[in-house]
Amino acid sequence: MKKVLVLCTGNSCRSQIAHGYLELFSAGKAKIYSAGIETHGVNPRAIRVMAEDGVDISAHTSNHVDEYRDINFDYVITVCDNANEACPYFAGNVQRFHHNFPDPAKATGTDSEIMQQFEMVRDMIKAYTRDFADKYLGS
C-alpha cells in the first residue's frame, strides 16, 4: 500500500483538505498522512467546507512532521511554498511533489466572503488530488 504525506505550514487547512480528498479518491488503496512544519490545530472552516462537499475531516488532528520520521513514504506533497522550502529530508525512494495553494486562513471579510475563499481553495485542491490519485494511487 502506498504511503502519502501531505505537508503544509500549520497542518490546519490546505493539508487537511488534501488529506481528506486523497483518502476519498484513493479508495483505501493508500495510507494518507498530513502534517505541518508547525501545528496550528485543524481550522473549523476547513472542517465546514469539507462537510459541505460530503467529506468528514472532523476527527483529523494537526500533526508535526517530526511525528512521521520513521515512516517510509512513497510520496510527499507540499501544498505551500513555506513547507516546500522547509521540507525535511525523507529517506528512501520518495517522490516529492509541490503545488502552492493560496492560504484560505488568511482570507478577510465577512464570514460569507471568507467561506468563499475556503470553497475556492477546496475546489482547487480537490481537482489536484483527484488528478494525483488517478495518476499515482491507481484509483
Task: Name the active-site residue from 80, 105, 133, 137.
Answer: 80
CA-to-CA dists, residue 17 to 33, 70, 103, angstroms: 11, 24, 12
Asked which of 1-10, 49-58, 87-96, 118-127 is least confident by mean pLDDT, the reply is 87-96
Out of 2, 63, 74, 87, pick the active-site residue. Answer: 87
Query: Which of 7, 8, 30, 137 is labelled catalytic?
Result: 8
Residue 85: domain span: 2-136
User: Is 90 exceeded by the pLDDT of residue 100?
Assistant: yes
Flag whether the pTM goes above 0.75.
yes
Number of domains in the chain: 1
Q: Residue 91: what pLDDT? A: 78
pLDDT tens per residue, range 26-41 = 999 999 999 999 999 9
Largest CA distance in the chain: 46
The reply to whether 8 belongs to the active site is yes
Residue 41 CA to residue 94 CA, distance in Å, equals 27
Known active-site residue 13: no
Contacts of 127 (CB under 8 A, 6+ apart): none
Q: What is the CATH number of the domain that holds 122?
A: 3.40.50.2300
